[in-house]
Structure 1
Amino acid sequence: MNNIKNTTTLGIAGSTSLDGLGLALMETDGIDVYRQGPAFVIPYEEELLEQIRSVLGKRADSPEHAAEIRRAETVFTEFAAAAVKDFVREEGVSPDILGFAGHTICHRPSEHYTHQIGDGRRLAELTGIKTAARFRSADILAGGQGAPFAPVYYEALTAKMRRPLAVIDVGGTSEVVWFGTSGEMKAFVSGPGNAVINDWVMKHGGMHIDYNGRLAITGRVDEKILAVLMHHKYIALNPPKACDRTVFAEKMEHLEGLSLEDGAATATAFVAESIAYSMALYLPEPPEEAIVCGGGAKNPTLMRFLRQRLPNMTVKTAVEAGWQPEAVDAQEAAFWAVRRLHWLPLSFPATTGAAEPVIGGEIFEPQG
């Protein structure tokens, strides 16, 4: 491992809750994080946002949808390239490599299929910077769930923290990552995330998100509907498991008939309840502390619901833990890129169910 050196890496990742495109600079050797640079999320332009929404849940290998997905990927990649160029110019940095996680539009491990829009080869050409991309395919081919990959990054980030410890990443879906006292690690997608809240308020209120949980806090949780939602078959699956945001869409029809506020409150409670239920049922040992990151950490009502349902542990936001709150997905992608550069695995049997640790991603060199 003596030949592994620090690398300046820029991560780029689309938020599965459709907040925008995250960018994050980091200095790392793929094992430890030595310096965090600027990180922020650029909101999607309305036209691009609608293009992404239109292809969610669709398979790129379907003749019916292939052309539509290619068009969305082209626009998304060009948007990412422009964002990288602006970042490099405005921050005065020269990253050695880009980690391009793209944007997941369809993730179906049971069908051995995953697809993220975002063309790594094209991004390398447009930016002139070496790019690592297509991180998830190798794990799927190895029999894994293709997610979550966050544990390798959170392991570095929490190395000096007391354990047992959990990290709860609430994006479009929610991921639970657990670290035991003896170095054990377990991770899985627990269930719904911000997507069920965002989709409800978009459909019934014309808003992209429930800002600061203001609708949910003024609403009333419908406990009967919440009980129905908690009977979703995915939540009863044992880990390892992963899914995309579309898995819960049909079940959310049970909210129809509720007011905007009551629907937001019930959807938010569904996110918190499914996380708490999964932690109680599937973790080897209760954590002493849980750190919440992703967009969900910025929702005070969701944080309140989580603390109510996890009374025997300290529940902190990423900010309260002293982490950079913005663009966590991009930070992960930056870290993955350097691990791929040094042939270090991204996934493990305890995180995705792959038979052995898997090195994920492809490297694309800029041409010319």
Structure 2
Amino acid sequence: MKITGPIWALGAMSGTSLDGVDAALLRTDGELISEFGASDYRAYSVEDRAAIAAALGQWHDGADVAAAAEVVETAHAAILSRMMGADSDQAPEIIGFHGQTLAHDPDNHRTHQTGDGALLAQILQRSVVWDFRSADVQLGGQGAPLAPFFHFACAKFLGLSEPVAFLNLGGVGNITYVDPSFDQPEAEGALLAFDTGPANAPVNDLMQARRGLAFDRDGELAAKGRVHAQIVDDFLNHAYFHKMPPKSLDRDDFAGLAPVVETLSDADAAATLTECCAASVARSSEHMPKAPSRVLVCGGGRRNAHLMARLKELSGMQIDNIDDHGLDGDMLEAQAFAYLAVRVARGLPTSCPSTTGVGANVGGGVISNP
């Protein structure tokens, strides 16, 4: 595909929180954002989440992978086809499909996002860019996070001139430090990105196990509990927090938190796990070249009032809901993969040493044509 100017691209994201699929349209040339388009969401059913959860930690030959892949492909085909027919003025020319991460082990040069982009290309009759992470991991990078180049474009779109941080609070937290004074995202000093630690996943898992709820709405339960400081201190002594970025996590790298809070009341456990998330974000500021002018928070965690308050208290930084700046905090990652799809089609890099630790600029992604 030859791209000479902005085109409409459709991106989809199914994150580590296992809640469902986000899909969003974006008009871009892979460098600048021209326009944000429509978006949509398709929730996973209880059965869908169970099928995906059963395959977590498994590689391509895992016993539960085929069933998880079918769920992921079916859900994506449904929402993407719906989006493609919604508005003829925003008809996408290309699709960015992330798939569902089941396992991530960059230290051993492997990562696994299930879902077949070639199959979706045939179903949707559009070019699909997928398998975004493998090339980065195979060349020694962490393969994550991949949204930083899009965050750089967002900072430019907002007309920002001072350094800013984009914090995504999904199942795992990740942060991007952006200096928009640079012209290109791959320029040395323009970006620094890494996973901050577990975010919503531990609390979501706790709520599901103890109360049959998907999450702690507004942090109401956590706000009623008492933080067990020793657990938080021990958590911050984990080897991960002593590693220099770029660095990344698998959803279950901190699975050991669950048994540690097992004897606590529901409220105390929620409060302690929420504090762990906030404390890990606060710790992340130690790695930034300079204090960002503000932190723009996206992902489901931004709706947790208690967590947002703790972030502000522990970090001492200006913590803003990204929605207040005119961007959609629910759809930023889906938009990111629309953006990255266009970059891949143009042969532009999608990651660099300061975002994933890869040895050189890398253009990841496989293009499947119908």
Q: TM-score scaled by structure 1?
A: 0.94
Give 2:186's aligned residue. Answer: none
2: CA distance, partners of 1:237 / 1:342: 34
2:68 aligns to what? 72
Task: Determine if the alignment matches structure 1 residue 173 to structure 2 residue 201.
Answer: no
Inter-partner Cα distance in structure 2 for 1:341 and 1:76: 24
8 A Cα contact 1:14 1:20, kept in partner: yes
The CA distance in 2 between the partners of 1:112 and 1:231, in whole Å, is 26
Partners in 1 of 2:351 and 2:58 — Cα distance?
25
- 1:329 and 1:14 map into 2 onto residues whose CA distance is 9
Which of 261, 265, 268 is 2:271 aligned to? Answer: 265
| Correspondence 1:225 to 2:231 | yes
CA contact (8 A) 1:29 1:339 kept: yes
- Contact preservation (8 Å) 1:40, 1:326: no
For 1:88-237, list aligned pairs within 5 A.
Answer: 88-92=84-88, 93-159=90-156, 160-180=159-179, 183=182, 184=189, 185-237=191-243
CA distance in 1, matches of 2:94, 2:181: 33
> 1:13 is matched with which residue?
13
Question: Of 312, 316, 336, which aligns to 1:307?
Answer: 312
The letter for the 1-side match of 2:70 is: T
Q: Deviations over 1:166-218 (max 9, x none)?
A: 11111111111112375321111111111111111111111111112111112
Question: Structure 1 CA distance, aligned partners of 2:302 and 2:3?
Answer: 38
Deviation digits for residues 102-133 of structure 1 (CA, Å, limit 9, x no counterpart): 11111111111101011100011111111000
Gaps of 5+ in 1: none
State how 1:54-73 maps to structure 2 within 5 Å: 54-61=54-61, 65=62, 67-73=63-69
Q: Tell me, what secondary structure is at the counterpart of 2:85?
A: helix
Shift of 1:252: 3.0
Between the aligned partners of 2:271 and 2:213, the Cα distance in structure 1 is: 15
Secondary structure of the residue that 2:100 maps to in structure 1?
strand
Among candidates 281, 284, 289, match of residue 275 of structure 1: 281
Specify which of 67, 70, 78 is matched with residue 82 of structure 1: 78
Of 339, 360, 368 in structure 1, the residue corresponding to residue 364 of structure 2 is 360
Structure 2: 5+ residue runs without aligned partners? 183-188
The one-letter code matched in structure 2 to 1:22 is D
- Counterpart secondary structure, 2:176: strand
* Rounded Cα–Cα distance in structure 2 between residues aligned with 1:262 and 1:253: 14
For residue 4 of structure 1, report the CA deviation from its aligned partner.
3.1
- Picking from 349, 352, 357, the partner of 1:348 is 352
Contact 2:12 2:23 in 1 (8 A): yes
CA contact (8 A) 1:291 1:316 kept: yes
Overall identity of the aligned pairs, in %: 36
| 1:59-88 per-position Cα deviation (integer Å, ceiling 9, x unaligned) | 224xxx1x4202211231122101111222
Q: 2:330 is matched by which residue type in structure 1? A: E
Measured in 2, the distance between the counterparts of 1:230 and 1:40 equals 37
Partner of 1:322: 326
Alpha-carbon distance, 1:3 to partner: 6.1
For residues 213 and 42 of structure 1, the distance between their equivalents in structure 2, rounded to whole angstroms, comes to 24
Give yes or no for contact 2:235–2:276 (8 Å, CA) kept in 1: yes
Secondary structure (helix, strand or coil) at the match of 2:161 reads coil
Amino acid at match of 1:70: A
Check conservation: 1:139, 1:358, Cα contact below 8 A.
yes
**How far apart are 1:162 and its partner, in Å?**
3.2
How far apart, CA to CA, are the structure 1 residues paired with 2:28 and 2:141? 26
TM-score by length of 2: 0.94
- In structure 2, how many angstroms separate the alpha carbons of the residues matched to 1:181 and 1:36? 20
CA contact (8 A) 1:74 1:119 kept: no
- Deviation per residue, 1:14-45 (Å, 9 max, x gap): 02111210000110000011111122322102
Name which of structure 1's ranges 129-138 and 183-192 shifts more when overlaid on structure 2.
Answer: 183-192
Alignment-mate amino acid for residue 138 of structure 2: L
CA distance in 1, matches of 2:4, 2:359: 26
Q: Are 2:246 and 1:250 aligned? A: no
Rounded to whole Å, the distance in 2 between the matches of 1:346 and 1:96 is 19
Match of residue 185 from structure 2 = none
Aligned residues: 359
What value does the CA root-mean-square deviation take over the aligned residues?
Answer: 1.5
Which amino acid is the alignment partner of residue 20 of structure 1? G
